[in-house]
């Protein structure tokens, strides 16, 4: 009996060497509340895979020698990943800001973030293998110098904060405030891709990520050779604490502007946005 258990333990250890760290844990989140949010998990998982494939290949597999082609490929990638994946968040910061504005529950948001992490943890080693097989340039990822002092960490965190705030407001206005007519989806997705690319150029200090999943999934695979989650708190401060605080701050400011509830509460200030006139249903005598 001991021999069988020892063999099973060895087999399990061999399997675990090839699995991304934490993958089993994030998959377990998919079945919270009897799988109520399983479709959301699946969409985020697949959407994250597609997003990384279609957007990180720009400038690596496509448009390597021409930035115009790379930008165009990135824009097409953003649109394709969203369209094929079903309009998922693919970003814990976006999920957090949607939660703050009541667009999803805490539990649904948690499952979505788990799906995003699962997709990211699979994507980087998978597409690295594809790069090696076809002799393509391997993907990179967002990272900054972890050996820098506290001022370097602060600069990276501030960069991620401001970039995430800008991204949040681009998402708010392109999705909820502007109306581009019959071609609204295609135009707003193209402009979203442009906004992401512009922010990458404006805020280069931390990569940038503007997406905690991308930063940690890449760090687990591409930074060093341990194939494990980073053990430096600076990583989590820059790529999780800062963008998630930016997401909540952005939700607060947008709630003041639009009159939306913030964490289920009406704010005592606002809305700044002109509200439609209320037509009385009472008939005149």
Residue 225 has pLDDT above 70, yes or no: no
pLDDT tens track for 97-140: 999 999 999 999 999 999 999 999 999 999 999 999 999 999 98
pLDDT at 53: 93
Q: What is the mean pLDDT of residues 40-55?
A: 94
Q: Which helix (H) or strand (E) holds 11?
A: helix 2-18
The mean pLDDT value of the chain amounts to 89
Angle between helices 106-133 and 92-100 (to 10 degrees): 160
Q: How many CB atoms lie within 10 A of CB 264?
A: 8
* Range 183-187, long-range pairs (CB < 8 A, 24+ positions): 186/79
Domain boundaries, the chain: 21-258
Residue 281 has pLDDT above 60, yes or no: no
* Range 175-183, long-range pairs (CB < 8 A, 24+ positions): 176/258
DSSP string, 148-201: S-HHHHHHHHHHHHHHHHHHHHHHHIIIII---GGGHHHHHHHHHHHHHHHHHH
Higher-confidence residue: 72 or 5? 72
Q: What is the mean pLDDT of residues 201-228?
A: 87
- Which pLDDT band holds residue 71 (cuts at 50, 70, 90)? confident
Would you state the structure tokens that stand for residue 31, as one six-digit string?
């079945």
CATH number for 21-258 (one of 1.10.3720.10, 1.20.1080.10, 3.40.225.10, 3.30.365.10): it is 1.20.1080.10
pLDDT at 5: 79
Would you state the structure tokens that stand for residue 262, as one six-digit string?
């913030």
pLDDT at 6: 72
- Which pLDDT band holds residue 148 (cuts at 50, 70, 90)? low
- Which pLDDT band holds residue 152 (cuts at 50, 70, 90)? confident
What span, in angstroms and rounded, lies between the C-alpha atoms of 43 and 51?
A: 12
CA atoms within 13 A of residue 201's CA, in its CB half-sphere = 7
The residues, ordered by sequence, that sit 6+ positions from 64 with a Cβ below 8 Å of its Cβ are: 70, 137
Higher-confidence residue: 11 or 65? 65
Give the torsion sign (CA, 197, 203, 205, 209).
Answer: negative
What span, in angstroms and rounded, lies between the C-alpha atoms of 69 and 86?
A: 25
pLDDT at 238: 95
pLDDT at 157: 95
């Amino acid at each position: 009996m001991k021999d069988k258990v020892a063999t099973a333990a060895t087999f399990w250890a061999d399997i675990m060497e090839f699995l991304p760290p934490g993958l089993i844990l994030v998959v377990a989140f998919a079945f919270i509340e009897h799988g109520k949010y399983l479709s959301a998990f699946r969409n985020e998982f697949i959407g994250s895979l597609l997003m990384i494939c279609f957007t990180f290949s720009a400038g690596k597999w496509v448009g390597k020698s021409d930035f115009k082609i790379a930008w165009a490929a990135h824009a097409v990638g953003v649109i394709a990943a969203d369209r094929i994946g079903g309009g998922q968040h693919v970003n814990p910061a976006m999920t957090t800001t949607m939660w703050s504005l009541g667009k999803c529950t805490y539990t649904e948001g948690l499952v979505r973030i788990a799906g995003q992490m699962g997709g990211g943890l699979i994507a980087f080693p998978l597409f690295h293998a594809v790069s090696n097989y076809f002799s393509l340039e391997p993907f990179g990822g967002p990272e900054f110098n972890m050996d820098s002092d506290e001022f370097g960490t602060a600069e990276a965190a501030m960069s991620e904060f401001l970039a995430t705030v800008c991204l949040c407001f681009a998402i708010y206005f392109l999705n909820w405030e502007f109306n581009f007519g019959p071609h609204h989806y295609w135009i707003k997705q193209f402009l979203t891709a442009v906004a992401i690319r512009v922010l990458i150029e404006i805020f280069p200090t931390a990569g940038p990520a503007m997406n905690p999943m991308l930063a940690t999934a890449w760090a687990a695979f591409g930074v060093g050779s341990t194939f494990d989650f980073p053990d430096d708190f600076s990583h989590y401060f820059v790529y999780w604490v800062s963008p998630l605080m930016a997401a909540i701050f952005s939700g607060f400011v947008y709630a003041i502007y639009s009159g939306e509830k913030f964490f289920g509460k009406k704010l005592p200030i606002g809305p700044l946005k002109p509200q439609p006139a209320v037509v009385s249903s009472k008939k005149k005598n």
